[in-house]
Amino acid sequence: MTSLVKVCELNELPPGAIKTLIVGGRQVMVVNVDGEIHALDSTCTHEEADLSTGFLSGKEITCPLHFSVFDLTTGEAISPPAELPLQRYKVRIEGSAIFVEG
């Protein structure tokens, strides 16, 4: 059974903002990329650094540890040393509330 975890209200996550929360025992980052909300694992697939403390630029986030770059819209690793993609989570908007399915 899929559970829904409320993240916040839409007005609390402006473009370029990141929120983190625990979903199903995993740390998830919820990101507003130009008005589109995406939810992905917040842990780098290379060395387990916290990506939510990384460098956000447009639709990409750079790991603060070894500078791997991930596409936030797909989860794909687009720059080494990371090779594996980030796990993505479904996002649901109900009214003005953002939920992540876990």
Q: Which fold has domain 4-101?
A: Rieske Iron-sulfur Protein (2.102.10)
Q: What is the mean pLDDT of residues 24-48?
A: 95
**Phi, psi (rounded to 5 degrees) for 53:** -100, 10
Q: In which band, very low, low, confident or very high, does the pLDDT at 102 lie, cut at 50, 70 and 90?
A: confident
Cα gap 20→17, rounded to integer Å: 10
At residue 2, does pLDDT exceed 50? yes
Q: What is the mean pLDDT of residues 77-100?
A: 97
Q: Name the residue ranges covered by the structural domains of the chain.
A: 4-101
Cα gap 50→3, rounded to integer Å: 24
- Whole-structure pTM over 0.85, yes or no? yes
What per-residue confidence (pLDDT) applies to 1?
A: 47
Taking only the tens place, the pLDDT of each residue in 75-87 is 999 999 999 999 9
